[in-house]
Structure 1
């Protein structure tokens, strides 16, 4: 990490080049995206990457001689399951090109999975020199990559409350508490409030088997919330697009993914005025349905 001071020399960024993580998508291999919205926990995540080392340059920069041994290790941590594990280390060969492969069990994954690749000292040089890594396991270089295994707009907490006792309109069925802080954690900032006066909706949201009317109520709620999230993302479009990568799980990360998915279905925009409002609202509600929110056409 930036700001860390190590008691030994480490190679420069160009000396150890971490290639992108690739994953087995259907029958092909493609670059692992930062988000897998259709993730199935019954499916293992099979990944691989190439790492290229300039061994001559590494020796000059670190002082590690050819009689030493280096290894690359891949570890992972899941935010929702709190599980972590690692793949057995791979010894760096004389060619300096190594392919790392890993199979992550689907039932152990969820939320945001962080992959960490480290280049470590496996066996030190025979002669110890000042400033040269000596202890086995010393980290010479590392790379982290996070992938979200969750829907583009993950389910957020719900809370039942009597709207007549709050600032909210007592005749509304639901209200979504939001934030404009794009760096805030999404699940800690967004809260779906359900009006206890609408007992029919409360019963529909409760777990258990639902009849046709209850299912329609749930689909209407999903559609309304989905459209609201798209509209909120549109209002933040400039900020969201200014950054190529928001930290996983933040409001910016979730809204950027929602915006990207919705924009593939329609040329979305914010209304210029009352003359434009109806058409823009149709675009947004259509995009919400096209991205799987709410009742689908048969």
Structure 2
């Protein structure tokens, strides 16, 4: 689904030759750097670099990868992705997706903010009551990528839909680099490519993006605009899962909106949100 050769080709096409001291003129037909220019700036032979882009070279050394990352101006996320792609002969097995009961107890303690546990496929494995109310559906069974591209669209729940699509594709690209032999991930990407032209265009760019924290704005049909802060907490042991919490700033309209949203849901005598989970073998 993803490979070192394709990633190198898209990254060199992105580099402005003038930024690395290469003069250009109107006769230049190549977008970005030429293969021989990348090879020269990286200190490797042209033949070796060509074989890398053709998928015929053996695994490059750490020094070669670091040199390529420097020339191609890769950020920290892209650099890590490059190294993972180069080591893909040692393929990681996709995590099982089992959610430990202890994690569910922690999730249930989050009472005033939507919170969910997602796997590397952006599948919601568990969610608290407010998360279900925000997305308008039970958490087990919700896939964020499918929701963004195939269900909601530009006028749906996501106020900054275009940016959301970029973030989702960047995350899935990273996931493919970590778990290239995951058949369920391959099936999801195929479904998205078949159903969304925007997904196909973004996927072809081969951009990768780490999901850590940031603003997320939602247009909820009952409570209006909710500008929330998303924090992604990676869970340990290489599970590929994250705890995602969407919080509102104190004394903000978003905080009032979440209170109103909570009041619209089913009444419950338990002060903690109800939590459900999906597990995969």
- The answer, yes or no, to whether TM exceeds 0.5 is no
The structure with the larger Rg is 1
Shorter-chain TM-score range: under 0.3
Give the TM-score normalised by the residue count of structure 1. Answer: 0.20
Q: Which has the higher contact order (CA 8 A, sep 6+)?
A: 2
Structure number with the higher helix fraction is: 2
Structure number with the higher strand fraction is: 1
Give the TM-score normalised by the residue count of structure 2. Answer: 0.21
